[in-house]
Chain A
Amino acid sequence: MAPLLEARGITKRFGGLAANDDVSFSVAEGEIVSIIGPNGAGKSTLFACITGFHRPDSGTVLYDGREITGLAADRICRMGIARTFQIVQVIGDMTVLENAMTGAFLRAARRGAAERRAGEVLALAGLAGRAGVLASALTISDKKRLELAMALATGPRLLMLDETMAGLTPAELREIIALVLEVRRRGVTLVVVEHVMEAVMRLSDRVVVLDSGRKIVEGTPREVVANPRVIQAYLGERYRA
């Protein structure tokens, strides 16, 4: 079966720096694939190239067999790829419900239908009890849930999460991991950029490791953490296994 998402030879330069250098990977429908790597490895750039925020200098992105390289971000969203941001983005002067409705309107033009759809994703994200609260009053952890709920409300087949787990307490982390697994169980494919290794180990079917813009390793979580090149990339020469 053809992969749901396929990146082929993505290269993106900023001035002389190659933030992504010939990166290729693919994601099958129903998978959870993590992208990890040290700071500055090019994870967010790769995300941006796939979701239409950057146009890669070379390489192609295929989604569901169609080329989407360089399409506008809103168009890519309408095709079924949703994403969240590393720095959480919600509409601060709207309530939690209104935020979710703004996402839901993409697949439900009428207000009543959008409200129902928003209620469903909020229930899934564990925010049903906070529907009437202004988004700006939420904790960081709840804002991240809301951002995820908004992304889900757009009805994606592929959901891309950019460091959703960062800065959470262990309890919050367990809840979000359970939420992501539930999202997958409902048929959404996920690509996750993540630093929190506990989440990577528990969630991922496969892991892609970037370092200095290149893909250095790809494999199951167990294979990847035992790989000498990965250890070297994270910890430096002295810890070469």
Chain B
Amino acid sequence: MLARRVLPVVAASAAGVALLLFPVVFRGPFPLHVMIMTFLFALMAVAWNIMGGYAGMFSFGQAAFFGIGAYTSSWLLVAHGVSPWIGLLAGGATAALTAAAIGIPCSNLRGHYFAIASIAFAEIVRIHFNNWKLVGAAEGLTIPMLPQGLASFQFHQSKAPYYYIALAFLLLALAVSWWVARSRMGYYFRAIKESHDLAMVLGISFVRYRMWAIMLSAFLTGVAGTFYAQYILYLDPESVLILPISVQVVLIAMLGGAGSILGPVIGAVVLVPLSEVTRVELGYKGTGLDMMIYGALITIISVYQPKGVWGLLYGLGARRPAAPDGPPALAGPEGK
């Protein structure tokens, strides 16, 4: 019995130490880049999970919030010299407000219709930015090189500071996700996912709580966007606003286990390094082999373990099939 209690603590501590020491051991830019991208996509998948996994709103438009976050902080910096840290909050807030504006007309769309609307919304945003002179249109924005440091959110010599910042953002997002899952809001999200009618007879305002889910998710995704802009120091519509980013986020969350707190992180840990490594090792040959391997893995997991990797791990750890805190079944779009 003791082992069951102690084991997770030991495992978590070991993982924590390993994460802190990783940049000390691996100093090369590529391993750090892979880890940073993993944290970034994990952050976005955790954000997606709040609206998609908990509340059942399948957004295929997260790239819009990501791009809006990136553009908001970058434009504030380029045009007005505003600190990226203020830009970060402004980016998250702008993404959340945009989400609210788009959420109102979409508030009664369910299941596939919501997913379709989210794609349309993200494409409109992309095309708009492609033609918007204020933010550089198709040429995008180049962030000026400033003296490096935490204040300027720029680090030129090593990627390690980006690594720690991304990790910190991910942990904050996980804390938000954990808090939501345990609060009234999280219970209401799950009721909304289960059934519109049931939610209403429990006194839950469908529109209000869906709005909360979209705004929370958009805020965190916008923060991820600002981070990415400060990491790459250059952005254009094709690098932050495109559909493949949205799809990647959904795949990561679904593959890891939508609806659970840690599932999206596990999905990112499996998929992002795979995608980065296959791209670098195999992509240049022009055979598309990297995408084939990537696609095959996604197919295998979704066919054999529809609850995601998290469901698989959970099943191995706990032998009770219907454990009370077990992961829910793969979250289908509501209205099944």
Interface, chain A (partner B; CB < 8 A): 51-53, 72-75, 77-78, 82-85, 89-95, 97-98, 101-103, 105-106, 109, 111, 114, 132-134, 137, 150-151, 154
B163-193 interface bits toward A, Cβ cutoff 8 Å, 1 = contact, 0 = none: 0000000000000000000111001101100
Closest to B209 in A: A74
Interface, chain B (partner A; CB < 8 A): 182-184, 187-188, 190-191, 194-195, 197-206, 259, 322, 324, 326, 328-329
Specify which of B184, B195, B199, B326 is in contact with A74 (CB 8 Å cutoff).
B199
Most A CB atoms within 10 A — which of B190, B191, B195? B191
> Are B324 and A154 in contact, CB atoms less than 8 angstroms apart?
no
Contacts A98-B187, A105-B187; A74 near B194 (Cβ below 8 A): no
Number of A-B residue pairs, CB cutoff 8 Å, is: 82
> Are B201 and A51 in contact, CB atoms less than 8 angstroms apart?
yes
User: How many Å lie between the Cα of A102 and that of B191 in the bound state?
Assistant: 7
Nearest Cβ distance between residue A102 and chain B, in whole angstroms?
A: 5
Specify which of B202, B206, B322 is in contact with A150 (CB 8 Å cutoff).
B202
Contacts of B194 in A (CB 8 A): 89, 91-93
Closest to B331 in A: A93
Contacts of B191 in A (CB 8 A): 91, 102
9 new A-B contacts at CB < 8 Å, known A74-B205, A132-B324: A53-B197, A74-B202, A83-B201, A89-B198, A91-B191, A93-B259, A94-B328, A105-B187, A106-B202
| Chain A to chain B: the 9 pairs with minimum beta-carbon distance, closest first | A93-B328, A77-B203, A73-B200, A105-B184, A106-B203, A89-B198, A91-B194, A132-B324, A74-B200
> Are B324 and A151 in contact, CB atoms less than 8 angstroms apart?
no
26 inter-chain pairs at a CB distance below 8 angstroms, sorted by A residue, are A51-B201, A73-B197, A73-B201, A74-B200, A74-B202, A75-B205, A84-B201, A91-B190, A91-B191, A93-B194, A93-B259, A93-B328, A93-B329, A94-B187, A94-B190, A94-B328, A98-B187, A102-B190, A105-B184, A106-B203, A106-B204, A111-B182, A111-B183, A114-B184, A133-B322, A154-B201
> Are B187 and A77 in contact, CB atoms less than 8 angstroms apart?
no
Closest to A82 in B: B201
> Are A89 and B197 in contact, CB atoms less than 8 angstroms apart?
yes
Specify which of A74, A90, A133, A134 is in contact with B203 (CB 8 Å cutoff).
A74
Nearest Cβ distance between residue A54 and chain B, in whole angstroms?
A: 12
Contacts A51-B201, A74-B199, A77-B200; A111 near B184 (Cβ below 8 A): yes
Contacts of A78 in B (CB 8 A): 203
Contacts of A74 in B (CB 8 A): 199-206
Contacts of B324 in A (CB 8 A): 95, 97-98, 132-134
Contacts A102-B188, A105-B187, A133-B324; A89 near B195 (Cβ below 8 A): yes
Most B CB atoms within 10 A — which of A73, A94, A106? A73
